Amino acid sequence: MGQLFDAHARLFDGLIYEIDAYGRRPGCDPELISRGLEPITDLERRGMAQLSEVDTELLTHKLTAIVEEARDVYMALSITESVITGDMNCALFTASGDPVAVATGIYFHTMLNNAQIKYATKYYRNDPTVGLADGDIYFFNDELGGGVHAFDMFTAMPVFWKGELVAWATCGGHQGDSGSPTPGGFNAKARTRYEEGIHVPMMRIGERFRLRQDILDFLAGSVRNPFVFAADLKSRVATLDVLRKRLLREIERRGVEPVVGGMRRILIKSEEAARARLRELTDGIFRAVMFNDDELGGQLGLTRIPVTLFKEGDGMTVLVQGVSPENGLGPMHSTWHLVRASTAVYMFSYFFRGLAPNAGLLQPIRYLVEGPSIANSRDELAHGMGTSISACVVNGLHVLGSKLLFSSPHREAVQAPHSRNIMLMIFAGENRLGYATANFTGSANASGQGGRFDSDGESAVGFYWGPFTDAGETEDTDARLPHFVLARRLEKNYHGFGRYRGGSPLVEISTCGHLGCFMSSWGSADKISHNPGLMGGYYGPPNPRVVIKNTDLFERIERGEEVDISQYELLTRRKLKGEYRLEASGQATQAFKPGDLMCFGLGGGGGYGDVLEREPERVLGDLRENLITAEVALKIYGVVVDPATGLIDSAASTRRRAAIRRERLRKGKPFAAFMRAWQRKKPPEAILKYYGAWPEPRTPGYDKPFWGLYR
Rule CB under 8 A: which of 351-390 touch another protein?
Answer: none
Q: Please count the other Cβ atoms lying within 10 Å of the Cβ belonging to residue 362.
A: 26
Stretch that binds another protein, among 47-55, 461-469, 543-551, 558-566 (CB under 8 A): 543-551
In contact, 435 and 381? CB cutoff 8 Å? no
Considering only 610, 649, 693, 710, the residue that binds another protein (CB under 8 A) is: 610
Distant-in-sequence, close-in-space partners of 489: CB < 8 Å, separation ≥ 6: 506, 507, 509, 565, 566, 567
Q: Which is nearer to another protein, 173 or 540 (CB)?
A: 540
According to CB under 8 A, which one of 108, 139, 168, 291 is a site residue for another protein? 291
Q: In whole angstroms, what is the distance from residue 275 CA to residue 125 CA?
A: 34
The answer to whether 660 and 613 are in contact (CB under 8 A) is: no
Instruction: Provide the minimum distance between the beta carbon of 489 and another protein in the complex, in angstroms, as a whole number.
Output: 14
x/- binding map, residues 562-601, to another protein, per CB under 8 A? ------x--xx-x-----x-xxx-----------------
Burial class (CB in 10 A: 0-12, 13-18, 19+), 2: middle
Residues in the chain: 711
User: Which residues between 492 and 511 bind another protein (CB under 8 A)?
Assistant: 493-494, 497
Residue among 23, 131, 135, 284 that touches another protein (CB under 8 A): 284
List 162, 514, 681, 711, residue binding another protein (CB under 8 A): 681
Which of 514/681 has CB closer to another protein? 681
Eight-class DSSP state of 455: S
Question: Binders of another protein among 386-445, rule CB under 8 A?
Answer: 400, 403, 406-407
* By the rule CB under 8 A, 276 interacts with another protein: no
**Considering only 197-205, 332-340, 461-469, 683-691, which stretch makes contact with another protein by CB under 8 A?**
683-691
Considering the rule CB under 8 A, would residue 524 count as an interface residue with another protein? Answer: no
**Stretch binding another protein (CB under 8 A), from 211-219, 277-285, 473-481, 556-564:** 277-285
Contact set for another protein, span 58-117 (CB under 8 A) = none
Pairing of strands 203-207, 210-211: antiparallel
Q: Which of 231, 612, 634, 693 binds another protein (CB under 8 A)?
A: 612
525-545 exposure pattern, b = at least 16 Cβ within 10 A, e = fewer? bbebbbbbbbbebbbbbbbbb
Rounded to whole angstroms, the Cα distance separating 128 from 132 reads 9
- In angstroms, give the least distance from the CB of 606 to another protein: 10
Rg of the chain over all Cα atoms, to the nearest angstrom: 26
CB hemisphere CA count around 415 (13 angstroms): 26
**Contacts (CB under 8 A) with another protein, residues 293-312:** 293, 302, 312
With vertex at residue 572, the alpha carbon angle to CA 580 and CA 474, rounded to the nearest 5 degrees, is 70
The interface region with another protein, picked from 76-84, 256-264, 289-297, 549-557 by CB under 8 A, is 289-297
Minimal distance in Å, beta carbon 554 to another protein?
23
Closest CA to 421 of 518, 494, 334: 494
User: In whole angstroms, how close is the CB of 668 to another protein at the nearest point?
Assistant: 3
679 binds another protein (CB under 8 A): yes
| In the complex, minimum distance from the CB of residue 397 to another protein, in angstroms, rounded to a whole number | 13
Q: In terms of Cα–Cα distance, which of 416, 481, 395, 492 is closest to 442?
A: 481
State which residue, 336 or 453, has the beta carbon closest to another protein: 453
A 10 A CB-CB count for 262 gives: 27
What residues between 455 and 494 interact with another protein by CB under 8 A?
493-494
Is 210 near another protein (CB under 8 A)? no
In the complex, the smallest distance separating the C-beta of residue 283 from another protein, rounded to whole angstroms, is: 4
Which CB atom, from 16 or from 632, has the smaller least distance to another protein?
A: 632
605, 449 contact by CB (below 8 A): yes
User: CB under 8 Å to 560, separation ≥6 — which residues?
Assistant: none
Reduced to 3 states (helix: H, G, I; strand: E, B; else coil), residue 498 is coil
What SS3 class is residue 448? coil
Among 181, 536, 578, 594, binds another protein (CB under 8 A): 536
Pick 497 or 592: Cβ nearer another protein: 497
**How many whole angstroms from its chain centre is CA 563?**
35
Of 102-110, 161-169, 355-363, 661-669, the segment contacting another protein by CB under 8 A is 661-669
Q: Give 643's contacts (C-beta < 8 A, 6+ positions apart).
A: none
- Nearest residue to 79 via CA among 239, 183, 185, 232: 232
Pick the stretch among 375-383, 505-513, 587-595, 697-705 that binds another protein (CB under 8 A). Answer: 697-705
Range in contact with another protein (rule: CB under 8 A) among 161-169, 186-194, 256-264, 630-638: 630-638
Contact 118, 32 (CB under 8 A): yes
Choose one: 20-28, 37-45, 195-203, 679-687; the region binding another protein (CB under 8 A).
Answer: 679-687
Give whichever of 166 and 281 is closer to another protein, judged by the CB atom.
281
Rule CB under 8 A: choose which of 667, 700, 701, 711 binds another protein: 667
Helix axes 213-220, 226-254, angle to 10 degrees: 130
- Per-residue burial over 287-317, b if 16 or more Cβ lie within 10 Å, else e, is bbbbbbbbbbeeebbbbbbbbbbbbbebbbb
Taking the complex as a whole, the smallest distance from the CB of residue 519 to another protein amounts, in Å, to 17
CA distance 274 to 270: 6
| Residue 8 near another protein by CB under 8 A | yes
Query: From the list 526, 551, 587, 602, which residue makes contact with another protein (rule: CB under 8 A)?
Result: 526
**Size of site (CB under 8 A) for another protein:** 85
- How far apart, in whole angstroms, are the C-alpha atoms of residue 553 and residue 595? 6
Rank residues 249 and 664 by Cβ distance to another protein and give the closer one.
664
Applying CB under 8 A, which of residues 95, 203, 356, 535 lies at the interface with another protein? 535
